[in-house]
Structures are given as structure tokens and as C-alpha cells.
């Protein structure tokens, strides 16, 4: 696949398309997400605050098995533009937290295609699709979000030699965990994410050419948001922007890190070699 085969004008016709979905924040969902985020599980009751990114578990699209592609994602078209590049990943985004989602809430999400752009990277053509979401409850607007999805060619991740990693920053706050395959499975289940790079080792190593299962981008983002809030006494940031830097793989220790600078907090996840894998900035 080459950049010339991408009809950007056609794909940009999807800009402005929207869709709606709704779901209930259940106590069982909150328990499962707390467990996956290394939090105290407890017995959540109606009205209790849910983890700050619980909306990523709500009202996920459901397709029959016959409509799934070889990577476990739904076949192209529908709400998202039919980008003819086979590899799809969550590149980053930005969140604005206005009101916490709570157990028992009925949350409604309105999603809109905001932009479709084309770039060239070390592996060839890259197509970025930006999606804007608004999540509301009966109390009003709860979350405003921009999600950036990147599509790329099927060339393996080793198509270009990796750049030397910059020196890792010194973290004033740090937590460590293990990127266990069960952890990745649990998050895939909570978010109804069929993408095989997170649970099918044969697929991710033999087809996509990675050394192991890949840690979810939103799971890394969820962990650093929760650390930021914990360091501020449970107060969630007003906004949080994040972007993936490099893949984080299964089977080794990883860290969740923060440096509090007053009005902002610099946050990142890092692999066992202390190389950042996702970076974020929280603002209060």
C-alpha cells in the first residue's frame, strides 16, 4: 500500500458524520475496572464515583463475527472512514473532565468525525482520524474528548532502524506493575476490544512482527490519569492530553510516573528500560 492509493478527498467526506450510543455504569463494571487499574475493589454502591476513564468501557460497538477483519477490528466503513491501511492503533488524544461518572448513571455518548489527515512516517503512509466525543448524564456534560486513531501500512515495525532513546526523565512519583497477559485480557474484555495485538501472541508476532503482546494505549492513559488524581488528593484534572511514544509489551515490569509542577503535571508510562511509552500532561 502506498500513499498514492489513499483517496484523501474521499475519506474526508466522513468529516462531520456522527453517531450516538448509551450505556449504564454498573457496580460490576466499576469493580472490574478498579481491579484492572490496581485499585481497591470494594463494593461500589449507586452514586459512588467510577474510575475516571470508565467511559472507555461503555457502549462499545458490537458487530457479528462475520463482520470482523483479520486483526479482530470490525471491517472498514460505517461510522469510521474506510481507510485502506491494514494496521490501526490508538495514537493519543485529549480529555476534559467536567463531572465524574457514577454507579447507576446512564451515560450517553455522541461521537463525531472531526478530521482526517495524511502524513508520511518511517513505515510509509500514516492516516490520522480524529474523533470527538461528548459524554453526558442526567446531570449534564461529563466528559469532552478528542481521540486520535492512526492507520499505517502492513510493513513490520522494524521497517526503519529505531532512533536512540532519549535519557529517561527522573520521576518524583513512581509506581511499578507487571504487564501480565491476564491484565491485557481483562482490559480487552472490559472494553469489548477484539484487536488481536492485545491477546493473540501468534498473530502479533507472526503477522504484525512485534516481539509480544501490546499493552493498550487507553489502559496506559487510564493509569496515569488515576495516578495524577491520587497525587492531588482524588481531584481529577480539568484536562489531560496524551500521546503514544512507542509500544509497551507484555512480560516485563513497567512504571507509571509523575512530576508535579503546580498547575500542570507531567505524566508518563515507561518500559523496563525506563524508556517512556506514553506521555501525558494534566492541567488543573
Span 65-98, pLDDT tens digits: 999 999 999 887 789 999 999 888 999 999 999 9
| Number of domains the chain contains | 1
Note the pLDDT of residue 165.
59
CATH of the domain at 101: 3.10.129.10
Note the pLDDT of residue 209.
94
Residue 4 has pLDDT above 50, yes or no: no
Domain extent, residue 194, equals 3-283
Residue 36 and residue 241: Cα distance in Å, rounded?
22
- Under a CB-based contact definition with an 8 Å cutoff, are residues 197 and 212 in contact? no
Residue 5, φ and ψ in degrees, nearest 5: -80, -5
Percent of the chain at pLDDT exceeding 90: 85
pTM, rounded to two decimals: 0.92
Residue 157 has pLDDT above 60, yes or no: no
Amino acid at each position: 500500500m502506498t500513499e498514492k492509493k489513499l483517496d484523501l478527498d474521499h475519506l474526508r467526506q466522513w468529516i462531520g458524520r456522527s453517531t450516538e450510543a448509551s450505556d449504564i455504569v454498573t457496580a460490576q463494571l466499576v469493580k472490574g475496572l478498579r481491579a484492572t487499574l490496581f485499585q481497591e475493589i470494594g463494593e461500589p454502591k449507586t452514586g459512588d464515583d467510577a474510575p475516571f476513564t470508565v467511559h472507555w468501557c461503555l457502549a462499545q460497538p458490537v458487530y457479528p463475527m462475520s463482520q470482523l477483519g483479520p486483526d479482530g477490528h470490525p471491517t472498514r466503513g460505517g461510522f469510521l472512514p474506510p481507510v485502506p491501511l491494514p494496521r490501526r492503533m490508538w495514537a493519543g488524544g485529549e480529555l476534559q473532565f467536567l463531572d465524574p461518572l457514577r454507579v447507576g448513571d446512564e451515560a450517553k455518548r455522541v461521537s463525531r468525525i472531526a478530521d482526517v489527515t495524511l502524513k508520511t512516517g518511517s513505515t510509509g503512509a500514516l492516516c490520522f482520524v480524529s474523533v470527538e466525543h461528548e459524554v453526558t448524564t442526567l446531570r449534564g456534560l461529563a466528559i469532552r474528548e478528542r481521540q486520535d486513531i492512526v492507520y499505517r501500512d502492513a510493513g513490520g515495525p522494524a521497517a526503519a532502524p529505531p532512533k536512540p532513546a532519549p535519557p529517561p526523565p527522573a520521576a518524583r512519583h513512581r509506581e511499578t506493575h507487571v504487564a501480565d497477559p491476564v491484565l491485557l485480557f481483562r482490559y480487552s474484555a472490559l472494553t469489548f476490544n477484539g484487536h488481536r495485538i492485545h491477546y493473540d501472541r501468534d498473530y502479533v508476532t507472526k503477522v504484525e512482527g512485534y516481539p509480544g503482546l501490546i499493552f493498550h494505549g487507553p489502559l496506559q492513559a487510564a493509569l496515569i490519569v488515576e495516578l495524577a488524581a491520587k497525587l492531588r488528593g482524588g481531584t481529577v484534572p480539568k484536562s489531560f492530553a496524551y500521546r503514544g511514544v512507542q509500544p509497551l509489551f507484555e512480560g516485563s515490569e513497567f512504571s507509571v510516573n509523575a512530576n508535579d509542577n503546580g498547575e500542570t503535571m507531567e505524566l508518563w508510562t515507561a518500559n523496563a528500560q525506563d524508556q517512556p511509552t506514553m506521555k501525558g500532561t494534566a492541567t488543573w
